[in-house]
Amino acid sequence: MKPIEIVKGIYWVGAVDWNIRDFHGYSTPQGTTYNAYLILDDKVTLIDTVKKEFADRLLDNIAQIIDPKKIDYVISNHTEMDHSGGLPRVMHKIGEDKPLYCSKMGQKNLALHFPEKWNYQPVENGGVLNLGKRTLTFLETRMLHWPDSMFSYVKEEELLFSSDAFGQHYAGPERFDDQMGEAIWPQAMKYFANILLLYAPLVLQLVEKVTQMGLAIRTICPDHGIIWRKDPAKIINAYGEWSRQKPKKKAVIVYDTMWQSTQKLAEAIAAGLDQTGTEAKPLHLRAHHRSDVITEILDAGAVLVGSPTMNNGLFPTVMDFLTYLKGLKPNKKIAAAFGSYGWSGEAVKLINKELEEIKFELIDPGLKIKFVPGPQEIEDAFQLGQKVGQALEKL
């Protein structure tokens, strides 16, 4: 992918990763991009780099615009290696002594990734760097989503380099929101649910602060996916909405099954929910990736978790999912457990324990049935679905 001019003198020079399908446990069926940006000014400035194996592509893109050796400053908005992995190659090419601007935590974290003694220039929140015709203002965004994260803002262009925030894992020929239309929104929501949900209260504070500051933003350039230039307020507002996690009348039934008994319960629960007018999403964990399930949970009011008892414990995919869910700390939701067992039957109790630790509200002691559900057990599952649907109506 060739460099693209975003506004006069500011270019996308990143790399498209068409083939990545697993981004540290997050499924990326449409690949991703590692966005880096070049500002041509009196001081030529590179914003972020790319994953290590794409460093030559970044340098080739820069070389189509300017000799990389003419870069004066490098800005590292975030240490994670999908954005810093290219730094050693870039610094070697442009000159190891070139100033490298980052947050104070960025300096500490970069030094723990790379042995090179670069010319670090740590910046304060609100610090300003004059590039000539333009200035960069640095805004620390600690824990959005790493301690080192920061944004860089070009006041003269009303353009925000937002690091991971407002990104999406999407690889395609499009570089801008107006080229993608609505198709980008599922990826933006999935990205929020999997990368930023844990920090939702901080996102909300940031969105409110940016709104109060009246910071003019015409363009948002994230480190992944497309650039928001048509209506950047739309993604900022979406972040506010997703952070609030206002529950819809929707229930996610997440489960795995050995011999379809737990699946039959899931389907009966879904029918009961449906009967109350609740949107029911039964999601089998070997058909739906954990990162897609968490995206569905983002705006759901209820979560039902089902597992057969296997070797006196949970089915492995269910434990995997509950661990992932617990780490992302979603807002309080109504919850219940269900599952089939043969002789010991620990699964429902174990799920309940996990759901309580997640601080979900258990609406029912849980439905456990021995071996294969008969008509009465199917009716019990249907009624559990109804009970959850009726409770959601009262929310």
Binding stretches for ligand FEO (CB under 6 A): 78, 80, 82-83, 145, 164, 223-224
Which position among 101, 140, 145, 380 bears the catalytic label? 145
User: 167 or 301, CB closer to ligand FEO?
Assistant: 167
Is residue 24 part of the annotated active site? The answer reads yes
Backbone angles phi, psi at 369, to 5 degrees: -130, 150
What is the C-alpha to C-alpha distance for residues 161 and 159, in angstroms, rounded to an integer? 7
In the bound complex, what is the minimum distance in angstroms from residue 313's beta carbon to ligand FEO?
33
Is residue 164 part of the annotated active site? The answer reads yes
C-alpha distance from residue 182 to each of 172, 177, 186, 214, 278 (Å): 15, 8, 8, 26, 25
Quote helix, strand, coil % in the chain, to nearest 5.
40, 25, 35
User: 140 or 256, CB closer to ligand FEO?
Assistant: 140
> Please, what is the end-to-end C-alpha distance for the chain in angstroms?
48
Is residue 53 part of the annotated active site? The answer reads no
Which position among 17, 41, 48, 82 bears the catalytic label? 82
76: DSSP letter: -
User: 83 or 264, CB closer to ligand FEO?
Assistant: 83
In the bound complex, what is the minimum distance in angstroms from residue 82's beta carbon to ligand FEO?
4
In the bound complex, what is the minimum distance in angstroms from residue 322's beta carbon to ligand FEO?
24
Which position among 17, 48, 80, 157 bears the catalytic label? 80
How long, in residues, is the chain?
A: 395
The helix (H) or strand (E) run that includes residue 31 is: none
User: 140 or 164, CB closer to ligand FEO?
Assistant: 164
User: 224 or 264, CB closer to ligand FEO?
Assistant: 224
- Strand partners of residue 228: 220
In the bound complex, what is the minimum distance in angstroms from residue 185's beta carbon to ligand FEO?
19
In the bound complex, what is the minimum distance in angstroms from residue 199's beta carbon to ligand FEO?
12
Which position among 140, 164, 279, 296 bears the catalytic label? 164
Is residue 145 part of the annotated active site? The answer reads yes
What is the C-alpha to C-alpha distance for residues 198 and 326, in angstroms, rounded to an integer? 9
Is residue 177 part of the annotated active site? The answer reads no
Torsion angle (degrees, nearest 10) of CA 68, 99, 144, 186: -10
157: DSSP letter: G
In the bound complex, what is the minimum distance in angstroms from residue 105's beta carbon to ligand FEO?
13
C-alpha distance from residue 146 to each of 44, 150, 198 (Å): 27, 9, 11
Which position among 37, 73, 170, 191 bears the catalytic label? 191
The per-residue DSSP string of 279-340 comes to EEEEEETTTS-HHHHHHHHTTEEEEEEE--EETTEE-HHHHHHHHHHHHH-PPP-EEEEEEE
- Angle value at C-alpha 378, between 276 and 323, nearest 5 degrees: 80
Q: Which two tokens stand for residue 383?
A: 């009624």
In the bound complex, what is the minimum distance in angstroms from residue 146's beta carbon to ligand FEO?
6
User: 148 or 157, CB closer to ligand FEO?
Assistant: 148
Is residue 78 part of the annotated active site? The answer reads yes
State the residue number with the nearest CB to ligand FEO.
Answer: 80
Task: State whether residue 167 is helix, strand or coil.
Answer: coil
Which position among 11, 34, 73, 78 bears the catalytic label? 78
In the bound complex, what is the minimum distance in angstroms from residue 275's beta carbon to ligand FEO?
43
Closest CA relative to residue 196, chosen from 349, 328, 367: 328
Which position among 224, 288, 341, 377 bears the catalytic label? 224
What is the C-alpha to C-alpha distance for residues 184 and 213, in angstroms, rounded to an integer? 28
Is residue 82 part of the annotated active site? The answer reads yes
Q: What positions carry a catalytic annotation?
A: 24, 78, 80, 82, 145, 164, 191, 224
